[in-house]
């Protein structure tokens, strides 16, 4: 799914998991500062991949809310994110006060804007539980105020070694009064997840996965899209290169190799939702939809009539696989959806065709797995497919992974 940069949703999880504090002096107490996840039901799910003897762990950082419950102001000097293997530190990322200050300011300005709609915030973060009262606009947090720490928009934790990371914590160093610094430690519970279903890849033929779950510049930092992928054609007859997704200088949607290809249900399930009101005739001219601002303007126009999900995802199908997992197929061709809400579907059944609807920069299938049917508030889930074996991309070494995470772009042919 194309980034909504420059649009309403592009300017940009309250389950309390628990906090622990590194107590430095008796005067410092837990009541002074509290920290929690920004979003309800937050799951911090690492990408894990083993290639030969190497273990790769990649973690999207959680967004936090820090609340100053004391009587005086404090200032967050820096943040450190630590990854552990069997209790031993293996990797550390330091976020300076300057980096944090800018991110807090930008996020606070956006969240505090009365014109920012909730779905736009959810699209970026998930099921947010905003703090009550005033939100700090920098690392300085006055008494009674809270700061939203948008770590997912700043950095990530990546480790390659002989063992995978199995623990993580975030340390916040704060100036609590002149000449006195204290460190708060927030333990992050990692949820190691592998998809539960025996799933089939949603398309057949020569394919390119243009954005995999390792691509932070696209899906990874956005709510339910964390493990999403964009799928285009890998080979287009008449194209100048196998990397091209269309004929040179495309004039119509059929000039794109993936447009009109059958989209398959990855597994048995029940249709949990569909959207079929996005007019593809408004997105059929490459000269228009490739123009900066055109798509975002069209979405704003259509929002009141077709709603947020249908506008952003275009025409879509969501399937409940009845195991806590929901698959979503977005940007489908207008008039191509062949299933109805609450209808049973079978693995491999055609549910629609690849189109160019919604927030799309060219015909492609946006696919994602998530833990609920709500595109805006669900947690994204990693997924693997039975007909795309783990060693399909790297066959020279034993491979084990919980998602397609070998590279930022994957080419192959699916039978």
Asked if the structure places residue 163 within a domain, the reply is yes
User: How high is the pLDDT of residue 112?
Assistant: 86
Note whether 223 and 372 are same-domain residues: yes
Note whether 152 and 220 are same-domain residues: no
Asked if the structure places residue 12 within a domain, the reply is no
Note whether 215 and 177 are same-domain residues: no
Asked if the structure places residue 73 within a domain, the reply is yes
Asked if the structure places residue 61 within a domain, the reply is yes
Q: Final residue of a domain: which of 131, 155, 188? A: 188
Note whether 292 and 357 are same-domain residues: yes
Tokens of 321: 């696989």
Q: What is the pTM of this model?
A: 0.89
Residue numbers of the domain that contains 157: 20-188
Asked if the structure places residue 296 within a domain, the reply is yes
Note whether 30 and 71 are same-domain residues: yes
Q: What's the per-residue H, E or C state across the chain? A: CCCCCCCCCCCCCCCCCCCEECCCCCCCCCCCEEEEECECCCCECCEEEEECCEEEEEEECCCEEEEECCCCCEEEEEEEEEEEECCEEEEEEEEEHHHHHHHHHHHHHHHCCCCCCHHHHHHHHCCECCCCCCECCCCEECCCCEEEECHHHCCEEEEEECCCCCEEEEEEEEEEECCEEEEEEEEECECCCCCCCCCCCCCCEEEEEEECCCCHHHHHCCHHHCCCEEEEECCCCCCCCCCCCECCCCCCHHHECCCCCEEECCCCEEEEEEECCCCHHHHCCHHHHCCCCHHHHHHHHHHHHHCHHHHHHCEEEEEECCCCCEEEEEEECCCCCCCCCCCEECCCCEEEEECCCCCCCCCCEEEEEECCCCCCCCCEECCCECCECCCCCCCCCCEEECCCCCCCCEEEEEC
Asked if the structure places residue 246 within a domain, the reply is yes
Q: Distance between CA 50 and CA 40 in Å, rounded?
A: 31
User: How high is the pLDDT of residue 220?
Assistant: 86
Domain count, the chain: 2
Note whether 154 and 224 are same-domain residues: no
Note whether 111 and 155 are same-domain residues: yes
Asked if the structure places residue 178 within a domain, the reply is yes
Note whether 78 and 148 are same-domain residues: yes
Note whether 173 and 250 are same-domain residues: no
Asked if the structure places residue 240 within a domain, the reply is yes
User: How high is the pLDDT of residue 336?
Assistant: 98
Note whether 303 and 394 are same-domain residues: yes
Per-residue pLDDT in tens (0 to 9) along the chain, 415 residues:
543 333 333 332 222 233 333 333 333 445 789 999 999 999 999 999 998 999 999 999 999 999 999 889 999 999 999 999 999 999 999 999 999 999 999 999 999 898 999 999 999 999 999 998 789 999 999 999 999 999 999 999 999 999 999 999 999 999 988 888 999 999 999 999 999 999 999 999 888 887 777 777 788 888 999 999 999 987 666 666 666 788 888 999 999 999 999 999 999 999 999 999 999 999 999 999 989 999 999 999 999 999 999 999 999 999 999 999 999 999 999 999 999 999 999 999 999 999 999 999 999 999 999 999 999 999 999 999 999 877 666 767 788 899 886 565 676 778 7
> Which CATH number belongs to the domain containing residue 342 in this structure?
2.70.70.10
């Amino acid at each position: 799914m194309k980034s909504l940069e420059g649009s309403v949703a592009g300017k940009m999880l309250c389950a309390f998991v628990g906090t622990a504090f590194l107590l430095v002096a008796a005067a410092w107490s837990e009541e002074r500062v509290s920290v929690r996840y920004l979003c309800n039901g937050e799951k911090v799910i690492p990408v894990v991949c083993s290639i030969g003897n190497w273990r790769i762990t990649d973690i999207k950082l959680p967004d936090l809310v820090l609340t100053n419950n004391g009587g005086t102001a404090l200032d967050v000097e820096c943040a450190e994110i630590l990854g552990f293997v069997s209790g031993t530190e293996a990797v550390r990322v330091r976020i300076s006060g300057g980096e944090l200050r800018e991110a807090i300011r930008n996020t606070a300005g956006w969240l505090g804007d009365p014109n920012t709609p909730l779905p736009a915030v959810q699209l970026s973060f998930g099921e947010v539980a905003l703090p009550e009262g005033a939100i700090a606009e920098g690392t300085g947090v006055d008494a009674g105020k809270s700061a939203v720490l948008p770590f997912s928009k700043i950095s990530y934790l990546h480790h390659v070694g002989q063992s995978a990371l199995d623990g993580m914590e975030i340390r916040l160093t704060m100036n609590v009064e002149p000449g006195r610094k204290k460190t708060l430690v927030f333990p992050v519970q990692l949820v190691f997840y592998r998809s539960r279903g025996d799933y089939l890849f949603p398309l057949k033929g020569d394919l390119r996965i243009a954005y995999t779950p390792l691509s932070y510049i696209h899906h990874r930092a956005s709510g339910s899209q964390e493990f999403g992928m964009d799928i285009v054609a890998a080979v287009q007859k008449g194209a100048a290169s196998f990397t091209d997704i269309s004929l040179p200088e495309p004039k119509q949607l059929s000039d794109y190799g993936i447009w009109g290809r059958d989209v398959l249900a990855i597994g048995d399930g029940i249709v949990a939702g569909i959207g079929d009101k996005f007019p593809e005739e408004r997105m059929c001219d490459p000269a228009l939809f490739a123009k900066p601002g055109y798509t975002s303007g069209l979405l704003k126009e259509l929002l009141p009539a077709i709603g947020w999900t249908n506008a952003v995802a275009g025409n879509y199908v969501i399937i409940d696989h009845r195991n806590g997992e929901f698959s979503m197929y977005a940007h489908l061709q207008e008039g191509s959806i062949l299933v109805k809400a609450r209808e049973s579907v079978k693995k491999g059944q055609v549910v629609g065709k690849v189109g160019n609807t919604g927030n799309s920069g060219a015909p492609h299938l946006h696919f994602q797995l998530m833990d609920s049917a709500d595109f805006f508030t669900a947690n994204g889930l990693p997924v693997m497919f039975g007909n795309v074996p783990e060693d399909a991309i790297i066959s020279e070494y034993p491979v084990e992974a919980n998602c397609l995470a070998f590279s930022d772009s994957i080419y192959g042919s699916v039978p």
